[in-house]
Amino acid sequence: MFKDIFFTSYLLTIAISLTFIFLNLVLANNIYLYSKKKNIFTNFRFSYLIFYYVVFLLDCIIFNFLILNKSGINAFYIYLFLKLIFLVISFKKFNFKPRLYIQKKYLLILTLFFLISLLPLSDADSINVHLNFPLAFFHNHENLLNLSKYAELSLFQNSEIILFNSVLLKSENIGSLLNYSSLLVFIFLEFSKPKNKGNFLVFVLSIPLILFLLNTQKLQVFFGILYLVIFIYFYENKSFFKKKIELAVIAFVFIFYLSGKISYILLAGPLFIYMLYRVKNPYF
- Whether the CA torsion 251, 255, 258, 261 is positive or negative: it is negative
Gap between the Cα atoms of 267 and 111, Å rounded: 30
Q: Which of 70, 229, 46 is nearest to 137 (CA)?
A: 70
Nearest Cα to Cα of residue 83 among 130, 13, 26, 158: 26
pTM, to two decimals: 0.88
Cα separation, 165 vs 100, in Å, equals 31
CA distance 61 to 151: 23
* Per-residue tens of pLDDT for the chain, all 284 residues: 556 677 667 788 889 999 999 999 999 988 988 888 888 888 888 999 999 999 999 999 999 898 888 888 899 999 999 999 988 887 766 655 556 667 777 788 888 889 988 888 777 666 666 677 777 777 665 555 555 555 555 556 888 889 889 888 888 889 899 999 999 999 888 877 666 555 667 777 777 778 888 888 888 899 999 999 999 998 887 766 667 888 889 999 999 999 888 888 888 999 999 888 887 776 66
- 168 contacts 77 by C-beta, under 8 angstroms: yes
DSSP state string for 9-70: -HHHHHHHHHHHHHHHHHHHHHHHHHHHHTT-STT-TTHHHHHHHHHHHHHHHHHHHHHHTT
Distance CA 107, CA 113 (A): 10
